[in-house]
Amino acid sequence: MGLTSSAPRCEARSDRIEGVSHLILNPWRCCVPDLSQELYCRQTSQYLRELLRSEPYCERWRQFEQQRQREVHQGAVARVIAAHIEATEGPEVTFGLTQRVSRVLNANRPMFTAKTLELFIAAFGMSPPHADKLRRLFTGRDLPNVVLGRLPLTAARRDYSTVVLHELHHLGADGLPEHHRTYKEVMSLKDGLASIRYSFDTNELEVERIHGGRPGPTYHQSGTIWAVDVELPRTLDAGQVHSVEFVTRFKYGGDVDPCFRRVVLDRVENLSIRVEFHPERIPAEVFWTEWRDYEPPHDQALYRRPVTLDDDNAAYHRLDAAERAVVGFEWRFEAT
């Protein structure tokens, strides 16, 4: 079976597409593994690591790490926890604490107990909202706010990074994609950045300008990939940030599968996805989903959780950070 897209693939490079948003045929064919504590530990660990990278928690472990690096230093984290144990429980043997911290923050397969999680919360003085979020993730009662996947990175040179990304997807009364609104803030990684590329895997659409850039004509890039170069109103030097916003209108003539996915290879720290349904075509079920990959046959769903539509018939979720991941919504209409 082929691939039918409903939303654009952004920032194409080599044979992998950075920032892919698309619909996939037959998304329900994939078997979703049973949700387990291993999955909840991974989601909790990813969110905990993001918290430890940010203020005020990073300052607590950085006092023990002279390089003041952004990445979390596990040995320094262990010293914060050791100091907490000694202050609250008196002198105590803390041998092996670094290994314990390493198991919690393991990027591949973290495993830990609720008691260990409470130790992190107490040692770093986590705020009540952060502490509650961690506990809810650990018990599988909340959607993840951080998704760090395992997609392979490309070696291609990047001209800019995406700082903020908001995707707003609208479906019509027929259940087909009608239009898609994208807002993004990009930061130039070189001097003299004059345009950004907006790529997608269908030519059944038209890109319209709203502000911050002027889209050129659609052209065939390679294979099934088309693209539009968006000319910026001013050239950017390295470190400068610029926002662009545009609407993509679809011209589908047949069925499109009920799924919107966003692929993020390079790190994005503020990603939101909103899918709004027409009041005459409300789905029976909607799921927030994380996929292993976006290319068959590896496009299995790793995580799927039902969500409730709001009063505007929309599903919405925001991620604090996403990297090397495939995330989005899928839904099911009642048979007619």
Q: Does the residue 2 lie in any domain? A: no
pLDDT value of residue 20: 38
Residue 98's domain comprises 37-139
pLDDT of residue 67 exceeding 80 = no
Q: Tell me the torsion sign for CA atoms 164, 269, 327, 273.
A: negative
Mean pLDDT of 34-49: 88
* Local confidence band at 209 (pLDDT 50, 70, 90 cut-offs): confident
Are 128 and 265 in the same domain?
A: no
Per the prediction, the chain carries an average pLDDT of 84
pLDDT of residue 95: 66
| pLDDT value of position 98 | 87
**pLDDT-based confidence at residue 295 (cuts at 50, 70, 90):** confident
Q: What is the residue whose two structure tokens read 């596990």?
A: 74
> Which residue would you say has higher pLDDT here, 96 or 187?
187
157 and 235 part of one domain: yes
In a domain, 61, yes or no: yes
16 plus 50 within the same structural domain: no
Is 95 within the bounds of a domain? yes
Assess whether 312 and 175 both reside in one domain.
Answer: yes
Cβ neighbors of 88 (< 8 A, separation 6 or more) are: 122
In sequence order, the 6+-apart residues with CB closer than 8 A to the CB of 80 are 60, 61, 64, 123, 124
Instruction: Check which CATH number belongs to the domain holding 180 and give it.
Output: 2.60.40
pLDDT score for 297: 83
Give the pLDDT of residue 69.
Answer: 67
Note whether 202 and 56 are within 8 A (CB).
no
On the 0-12 / 13-18 / 19+ scale of CB atoms within 10 A, 272 is middle
For residue 162, name the pLDDT band (cuts at 50, 70, 90).
very high
Q: Residue 87 domain-assigned?
A: yes
What are φ and ψ of residue 168, in 5° steps?
A: -125, 110
pLDDT in tens, 223-273: 767 888 999 999 999 999 999 998 988 887 777 778 898 888 888 989 999
Structure tokens that stand for 86 in this block: 């000694």
Which pLDDT band, with edges at 50, 70 and 90, does 15 fall under?
very low
Q: Which of 139, 173, 197 is the last residue of a domain?
A: 139
Model confidence, pTM: 0.83
Residue 211's Cβ-count burial label (10 Å; 0-12, 13-18, 19+) is: exposed
Domain assignment present for residue 6? The answer is no
Q: Which of 209, 229, 210, 231 is nearest to 219 (CA)?
A: 229
DSSP secondary structure code for residue 21 in this structure: E
**Structural domain total, the chain:** 2
Quick one: tokens of 221? 């890039």
Alpha-carbon dihedral 329, 160, 46, 293, rounded to 10 degrees: 50
Domain boundary among 115, 139, 163: 139
Do 306 and 200 share a domain, yes or no? yes
Residues 192 and 134 in one domain: no
What 8-state DSSP symbol labels residue 211?
E
Residue-level pLDDT at 74: 92
Question: Same domain, yes or no, for 319 and 290?
Answer: yes
Give yes or no for residue 23 having a pLDDT over 60.
Answer: no
pLDDT of residue 211: 92
Instruction: Report yes or no on 3 lying in a domain.
Output: no
Considering the domain architecture, whether residues 154 and 257 belong to the same structural domain is answered as: yes
Contacts 24+ apart (CB under 8 A), 120-125: 120/48, 120/81, 122/84, 122/88, 123/80, 123/81, 123/83, 123/84, 123/85, 124/51, 124/52, 124/57, 124/60, 124/80, 125/60
What CA–CA distances, in Å, run from 33 to 1, 30, 238? Answer: 24, 10, 43
- Residue ending a domain, among 139, 171, 191, is 139
Query: pLDDT tens across 172-181, in order?
Result: 999 999 999 9
Confidence of residue 92 (pLDDT cuts 50, 70, 90): low
* Whole-angstrom distance, CA of residue 247 vs CA of residue 169: 10
Residues 175, 123 share a domain = no
- pLDDT tier, 91 (very low <50, low <70, confident <90, very high otherwise): low
Answer whether residue 205 is part of any domain. yes
Residue 97 sits in the same domain as residue 236: no
Q: Tell me: do 112 and 153 sit in the same domain.
A: no
Is 217's pLDDT higher than 90?
no
Domain match, 327 and 198 both: yes
Residue 176 included in any domain: yes
